[in-house]
């Protein structure tokens, strides 16, 4: 397991200053982004550089063309990816993470580290009670 040098070791070490958890709170933006089931996966897949949508879909697996397109458009709107269109025949499009998108990899990797550490116990709890314990 990789320990991230930028991650705080305890929640008490994090201070965002006064934050009101209201509808337009910046923290809610982060929760919305990480709560989108495909957005973190696409960002993680783009971590090594630009990719064409077809290559992205193959690399990810399980994502429909419609969902991939919708998520890439949303990521472009949020300035997390940059779309590049090349004037070729046939036309070629690539998506690449912006600086904001690359910075988003920090919490994605931290979440991945948490899942590596606690995913088994959380997954077991989601599966329901063990019948042997009843």
8-state DSSP, 46:
G
For residue 89, give its domain range.
25-122
The answer to whether residue 19 is domain-embedded is: no
The answer to whether residue 4 is domain-embedded is: no
**Domain of 56: which CATH number?**
1.10.10.10
Q: Give the predicted TM-score (pTM) of the model.
A: 0.76
The CA dihedral of 40, 44, 47, 51, to the nearest 10 degrees, is -90
The answer to whether residue 1 is domain-embedded is: no
Residue 33 CA to residue 132 CA, distance in Å, equals 39
Q: Is the alpha carbon torsion for 48, 75, 95, 62 positive or negative?
A: positive
Q: How confident is the model over 95-108, as pLDDT tens digits?
A: 999 999 999 999 99
Q: How confident is the model over 6-32, as pLDDT tens digits?
A: 555 566 666 666 666 666 677 778 888
Count how many domains the chain has. 1
Give the residue from 104, 98, 83, 102 showing the smallest Cα distance to 29.
104
């Amino acid at each position: 397991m990789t320990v991230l040098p930028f991650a705080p070791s305890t929640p008490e070490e994090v201070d965002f200053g006064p934050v009101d958890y209201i509808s337009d709170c910046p923290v809610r933006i982060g929760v919305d982004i990480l709560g989108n089931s495909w957005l973190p996966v696409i960002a993680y897949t783009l971590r090594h550089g630009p990719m064409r949508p077809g290559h992205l879909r193959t690399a990810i697996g399980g994502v429909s063309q419609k969902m991939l397109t919708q998520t890439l458009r949303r990521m472009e709107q949020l300035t997390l990816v940059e779309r590049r269109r090349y004037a070729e025949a046939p036309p070629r499009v690539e998506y690449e993470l912006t600086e904001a998108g690359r910075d988003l990899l920090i919490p994605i990797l931290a979440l991945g580290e948490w899942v590596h550490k606690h995913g088994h116990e959380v997954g077991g709890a989601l599966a329901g009670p063990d019948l042997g314990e009843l």
